[in-house]
Structure 1
Amino acid sequence: MGQSTPIILAFIGGVFLALHGGFNAQLSEQLKSPILTSLVAYIISALIAFLAVTVNTRHFPSFHQLKDIPYYLWFSGALFSVAGIGLYYYTIPKLGISTMISIGLFGQILFSVIAGHFGWFGLPTEPIAYKKIFGVLAMTLGIVLIKNT
């Protein structure tokens, strides 16, 4: 498959996240609650995911496999997701979508560079190199330019 397909899919995923943030920020303004918007979004997302799982999954994990999953993995991703997405819904109307997404992406990149360098979460290590440092600095400049235009 090479690298082009995952790169294109990652790009599309980024576009979808920006669309998602824009629509749900509007919903948050209408509902007057980013946390209520998160609840609505996650309920609808759960229903869509349930439908996708029932259509696409041929083999479900056994009870033994489910029991062996560390307990914190059942809730930690969801906790950070709700908090992060709720913050998106809250800050997009205050900062604008391009500023919020670029600052949010900067947080993701900075954290991922550090986490990748140390191999946190059992993921492969990706040592920090000068090119990565330059990339983070370039992104910082880009955010400054986006924010101040």
Structure 2
Amino acid sequence: MPSFLPLLLVVLAGVGVAVQPPTNAALARTSGSVWLAALVSFATGMAVLVTVWAAADRTPLSALRGAPWWAWLGGVYGAAFVAALAFAAPRLGLAVTLTIAVASQLVTALVVDRFGWLGLPQQPLSPARLGGVALVLAGALLMRRG
């Protein structure tokens, strides 16, 4: 696999995350329900994933038997994220909403990395990593004030 491919995929995923809140907010505005908008978003995503899985992967469902209990919570986090951002983006603006979301993700990531939670290897805290997160937090405050 070319070394740029993971980077490219993450950049494209980031673009998707940036346009998802206003897309879902439009559904919420039209329907009057953030929850219905989130449901449509997840149903559409599920249809795409089922299609790709059936066409290209077909790993048996029994492969999930050994998953830890907390591994089943990813959809809960995703649903909360989609609904929260669909609600917040029209009220805070997309840039502020995403900056706050990224800042909270990075703080959580530092803690998860530091302790090696959720099956990830431990990563030490360093002045550079702490400084990077501090800059993002400062950016979130600046975006909120501006």
Assess same fold via TM > 0.5.
yes
SS of 1:100's equivalent in the other structure is helix
Q: Distance in 2 between matches of 1:62 and 1:88?
A: 31
Specify the alignment match of 1:99 in structure 2: 96
Task: Give TM-score scaled by structure 1 length.
Answer: 0.89
Residue identity opposite 1:4 in structure 2? F
Q: Counterpart in 2 of 1:33?
A: 33
In the TM superposition, structure 1's runs of 4+ consecutive aligned residues that sit over 4 Å from their partners are none
CA distance in 2, matches of 1:72, 1:143: 30
1:54 and 2:54 aligned: yes
Secondary structure, in 3 states, of the residue corresponding to 2:122? coil
Q: Tell me if 1:128 matches 2:125.
A: yes
The aligned residue for residue 6 of structure 2 is 6
CA change 1:91–1:61 in 2 (3 A) is: same
Residues of 1 paired with 2:105 and 2:3: CA distance? 21
Q: CA deviation at 1:31?
A: 1.3
- 2:61 and 2:46 map into 1 onto residues whose CA distance is 21
Aligned to 2:109: 112
Report the TM-score, using the length of structure 2 for normalisation: 0.90
The two structures, once aligned, show a CA RMSD in angstroms of 1.7
Name the residue aligned to 1:88: 85
Q: Provide the secondary structure at the position in 2 that maps to 1:128.
A: coil
Offset at residue 102 of structure 1 (A) = 0.5
Q: CA deviation at 1:2?
A: 6.0
CA change 1:2–1:51 in 2 (3 A) is: closer
Q: Quick check: 1:16 aligned with 2:13?
A: no
Q: Which runs of 5+ in 1 are unaligned?
A: none
5+ residue gaps, structure 2, are: none
Q: Determine helix, strand or coil for the equivalent of 1:69.
A: coil
Supply the distance in 2 between the matched residues of 1:136 and 1:144 (Cα, whole angstroms): 12
Q: Distance in 2 between matches of 1:13 and 1:67?
A: 28
* Seq. identity, %: 24
Determine the structure 2 residue equivalent to 1:68: 66
Q: Distance in 2 between matches of 1:52 and 1:80?
A: 22
Distance in 2 (CA, whole Å) between partners of 1:141 and 1:126 is: 23
Aligned residues: 146
87-96 vs 138-147, which moves further? 138-147
CA distance in 2, matches of 1:114, 1:94: 29
CA–CA separation in structure 2 for the residues paired with 1:11 and 1:62 = 30
Distance 1:128 1:112 in 2: 11
